[in-house]
Amino acid sequence: MTQDLLTVEELRTYFYTEDGIVRAVDGVDLQIPSGSIVGLVGESGSGKSVTALSIVRLVERPGKIVSGRVLFDGKDLLSLSEDEMRRFRGKEISMVFQDPMTSLNPVYSIQDQMEEPLLLHRNMERRQARAEVLEMLRKVRIADPEKVARLYPHELSGGMRQRVMIAMALSCKPKLLIADEPTTALDVTLEAEILDLMKTLVREVGASVLLITHDIGIVAETCDSAAVMYAGNVVEFADVGELFANPRHPYTTALLNSIVNPRRRKQRLAVISGTVPNMLHPPEGCRFHPRCPFATEKCAEAPGQLSLVGPGHSVACSQHSRDVQAS
Amino acid sequence: MTDRIAVGMLGEWAQRLLGSESHGLQTTFRRIRRNTLSVVGLGIVGGLVLIALIFPVIVPRSQVELTHLDSMFLPPSLGHPFGTDEMGRDLLVRILWGTSISLQIGILVVATAMGIGVPLGAIAGFFGGRIDDAIMRLTDLFLAFPSILLALAVAAALGPSITNALIAIAITWWPWYTRIVRGMTLSLKEEKFVEAARSLGASKARLIFKHILPNCVTPVIVNGTLDIGYAILATAALGFLGVGAQPPLPEWGLMISTGRLYMPSRWWVSTFPGLAILVTVLGFNLVGDAIRDVMDPRLRA
């Protein structure tokens, strides 16, 4: 079995704030194989973005990666020096952020900004870089690349800016693209296009994607496998088909149930009772147990460990570990 | 690499002022022309720059410094539009010659103050913590010095000269730029595009100088332009006090000072240099305002 491209083991990132310690990422495990698109789904505040930032070590004070391993191509990224890490960023791993409005520097033209990673990582000459920029703009399906290249960010629409960001992120042919809610700020028609674009380009370059989103629909459309996060933990992980067919964790089931089915009229909207926990004082044991319809006393004592319940399918729920043990 | 960044930055700003695809040169000029005061300011400064460049070439220094004892204190007339001074030198010629001195000093003072203040401000704002504290305390220290007193001290130590005056003024001015840039850096470093650049592998130096600083340029340039006027004023003040320019240099402040003794009967000797200072400072103020209007939000679609 080939080694996964990225393996995250027991990652913990805490924020040491004045009000207390926020355990935003508290023991997260992830596996991303080569050439695959892995989704990371969860509500706001579940820790998905912090996980992504922790992987590339962009977490700033008061946040700190406390423990864990991030194995990329066999190397533990958390053990590298800042200089060594910087060489990874943009070249081996790159990111696309949520808001295209603010991800581009307003005082530089598109051309100049897109050239930067090329000049930095691929050691190109200016002229080579200019040509490559135009080629990249064409690849992300921007019409009239010569004109757009000379424009400034405020002269482009949101969709175009996001395409530029994707182009920049893929320009140095990274092995892993982390996309943090790349389409959340865009309207639905654009969303489909951008996701499709990402899929195509990523296959071309042979990269893997960690697609972070709160929208399960996107996961179904785009991802090969997905991890569901809740309050700082991964609660379920499976191939997408399996995840949708056989969700095991009560949270996953609840999430899937809350998707509105346009074909069923007069449907009462399913709701997950309760609210997302206060991350300063998360619940004891399994963090979902106060809202879980299947919770037992055991759930309040110890958190569920991610355990295999089927091929490539793991769940962090004490009920299901029992299932496996029973069988 | 620094030259590349500098040229790049200037190029960008030139492109913004001169126009990109959607904002042509015409739009910029139209905006300027709409405001008469800006035009006046530009005219004044443009004229001053021309004079400063051309005059010293046409008229050699000796002409300005030679004494003509037979034509002392001639009042303004056709032959001598501003009259002559106590050494018989034509005042108009001296004033025009002095333009180049004042402008050079003004620009050098501001350039030096910026050169020290801006990078310090960016470093303080970006790194925060103890580095920020250290730089800010240093800033407070220098802000506490009244420039004139410092200039007197420098003059006492190194001897009065226009170069020393330049140093004295620049030393007291850089803190203002540090404050401005630090404030902007503090907010800019939280911007998404800085995070995005970092995610693409930019080093801290690159983030500061290539991403954050260019976004700070607007207030720095506006303040800088206004400051050129005030720097000229400060130089004149020091010249007036005798610790800046020394005779026979045709520096305006110095000229006012020497002319003081002959007031009010030979009023022209002090008055015209004074008017020159007034017009110059006014010109730079107006241009500073014009630049602020052109560069800020209106240019953003």
What tens digit of pLDDT does each residue of B229-288 get?
989 988 888 888 888 888 888 889 888 988 888 888 888 888 999 999 999 999 999 998
pLDDT of residue B32: 59
Confidence of residue B7 (pLDDT cuts 50, 70, 90): very low
**Among chain A residues, CA nearest to B203:** A86
A105/B215 Cβ within 8 A: yes
Predicted confidence (pLDDT) per residue in A24-79, tens digit: 998 899 999 988 999 999 888 888 999 999 999 998 888 889 999 999 988 888 88
- The separation between CA A283 and the C-alpha centre of its own chain, rounded to angstroms, equals 25
Residues B27 and B144 in one domain: no
Residues B62 and B19 in one domain: no
Q: What is the DSSP letter of B212?
A: I
pLDDT of residue B29: 62
B215/A106 Cβ within 8 A: yes
The CATH number covering residue A27 comes to 3.40.50.300
A95/B300 Cβ within 8 A: no
pLDDT of residue B1: 36
CA distance B188 to chain A (A): 10
Residues B48 and B93 in one domain: yes
Structural domain that includes position A128: 106-173
Using the predicted structure, report yes or no on whether residue B89 has a pLDDT greater than 70.
yes
Inside any domain, residue A321: no
Virtual torsion, Cα B99, B104, B109, B114, nearest 10 deg: 120
Inside any domain, residue A153: yes
Residues A78 and A191 in one domain: yes
The interface residues of chain B toward chain A in range 21-60, judged by CB-CB distance below 8 A, are 21-22
Residues A80 and A183 in one domain: yes
Residues A124 and A237 in one domain: no
B192/A120 Cβ within 8 A: no
Q: Where are the alpha helices (DSSP H) in chain A?
A: 48-55, 82-88, 110-121, 126-139, 145-149, 158-170, 188-205, 216-222, 240-245, 250-257, 297-301, 318-326
Q: How many residues does chain A have?
A: 327
B211/A154 Cβ within 8 A: no
- Please state, in angstroms and rounded to a whole number, the distance separating the CA atoms of residues A9 and A4: 12
CA distance B69 to chain A (A): 59
A116/B202 Cβ within 8 A: yes
- Please state, in angstroms and rounded to a whole number, the distance separating the CA atoms of residues B136 and B115: 17
Residues B42 and B30 in one domain: no
B199/A95 Cβ within 8 A: yes
Residues of A in contact with B193 (CB under 8 A): 102-106
- The separation between CA A119 and the C-alpha centre of its own chain, rounded to angstroms, equals 27
Residues B75 and B219 in one domain: yes
Can you give the pTM of this predicted structure?
0.78
Inside any domain, residue B153: yes
Q: What is the DSSP string of A177-233?
A: EEEESTTTTS-HHHHHHHHHHHHHHHHHHT-EEEEEES-HHHHHHH-SEEEEEETTE
- Please state, in angstroms and rounded to a whole number, the distance separating the CA atoms of residues A87 and A92: 8
Inside any domain, residue A218: yes
Identify whether the C-beta of residue A151 lies closer than 8 Å to the C-beta of residue A110: yes
Q: Which of A58, A120, A121 is nearest residue B195 as measured by Cβ atoms? A: A58
Residues A182 and A141 in one domain: no
Average pLDDT, chain A: 86
Residue with tokens 């004490």: A318
Nearest Cα residue to A98 out of A151, A53, A32, A31: A53
Residues of B in contact with A168 (CB under 8 A): 200
Inside any domain, residue A305: no
Residues B7 and B86 in one domain: no
Residue from A54, A91, A105 whose CB has the most chain B CBs within 10 Å, to mutate: A105
pLDDT of residue A321: 61
Characterise B285 by phi-psi region: left (phi > 0), alpha (psi -120 to 50), beta (else).
Answer: alpha
For B88, the enclosing helix (H) or strand (E) is none
Residues B2 and B48 in one domain: no
pLDDT of residue B12: 52
Nearest Cα residue to B278 out of B232, B209, B246, B240: B232
Q: Which of B12, B16, B193 is nearest residue A104 as measured by Cβ atoms? A: B193
Using the predicted structure, report yes or no on whether residue B125 has a pLDDT greater than 90.
yes
Prediction ipTM score: 0.79
Q: Which residues have CB under 8 Å from B120's CB, separation 6+?
A: B135, B138, B139, B174, B178, B181
3-state helix, strand, coil in chain A (%, to 5): 35, 25, 40
Residue from B13, B200, B220 whose CB has the most chain A CBs within 10 Å, to mutate: B200
Residues of B in contact with A105 (CB under 8 A): 193, 197, 211, 214-215
- Total of domains in chain B: 2
Residues B17 and B143 in one domain: no
3-state helix, strand, coil in chain B (%, to 5): 80, 0, 20
Examine the fold and report which residue of A154, A173, A192 is the final residue of a domain before the chain moves on: A173
pLDDT of residue A2: 59
Q: How many residues does chain B have?
A: 301
The interface residues of chain B toward chain A in range 218-277, judged by CB-CB distance below 8 A, are none
CA distance A62 to chain B (A): 13
Residues B1 and B46 in one domain: no
Residues B114 and B20 in one domain: no
Inside any domain, residue A284: no
Residues of B in contact with A154 (CB under 8 A): 300-301
Inside any domain, residue B41: yes
- Please state, in angstroms and rounded to a whole number, the distance separating the CA atoms of residues A225 and A292: 24
List, for chain A, all residue ranges whose pLDDT scores fall below the cut of 50. 1, 323-327
Virtual torsion, Cα A186, A189, A195, A198, nearest 10 deg: -90
Residues B146 and B11 in one domain: no
A104/B195 Cβ within 8 A: no
CB atoms within 10 A of CB B183: 15
DSSP, collapsed to helix, strand or coil, labels residue B197 as helix
Residues A39 and A132 in one domain: no
Using the predicted structure, report yes or no on whether residue B178 has a pLDDT greater than 80.
yes
Q: Which of B192, B210, B301 is nearest residue A103 as measured by Cβ atoms? A: B192
Mean pLDDT for the stretch of residues B75-103: 85
Using the predicted structure, report yes or no on whether residue B110 has a pLDDT greater than 90.
yes
Residues of A in contact with B217 (CB under 8 A): 107
Question: What does each C-alpha distance from B190 to A102, A212, B126, B185 come to in angstroms?
Answer: 11, 21, 10, 9
Q: Work out the percent of chain A whose per-residue pLDDT is above 90.
A: 24
Residues A187 and A268 in one domain: yes
Nearest Cα residue to B48 out of B290, B286, B297, B299: B286
Residues B113 and B7 in one domain: no
Identify whether the C-beta of residue A177 lies closer than 8 Å to the C-beta of residue B48: no
For A75, the enclosing helix (H) or strand (E) is strand A75-76
Mean pLDDT for the stretch of residues B19-42: 66
Residues A121 and A250 in one domain: no
Residue with tokens 């610790």: B243
Inside any domain, residue A194: yes
Residues of A in contact with B21 (CB under 8 A): 147, 150-151, 155
How many A/B residue pairs have CB atoms within 8 Å?
81
Residues A75 and A190 in one domain: yes
The CATH number covering residue B143 comes to 1.10.3720.10
Q: Work out the percent of chain A whose per-residue pLDDT is above 70.
A: 97
For B225, the enclosing helix (H) or strand (E) is helix B213-241
**Among chain A residues, CA nearest to B192:** A103
Residues of B in contact with A89 (CB under 8 A): 198-201
Examine the fold and report which residue of A124, A141, A173 is the final residue of a domain before the chain moves on: A173
- Give me A321's structure tokens: 């570990």
Identify whether the C-beta of residue A41 lies closer than 8 Å to the C-beta of residue A67: no
Predicted confidence (pLDDT) per residue in A285-320, tens digit: 888 888 888 878 878 777 777 888 888 888 888 776
Structural domain that includes position B201: 36-290
**Strand pairing class (A176-180; A208-213):** parallel
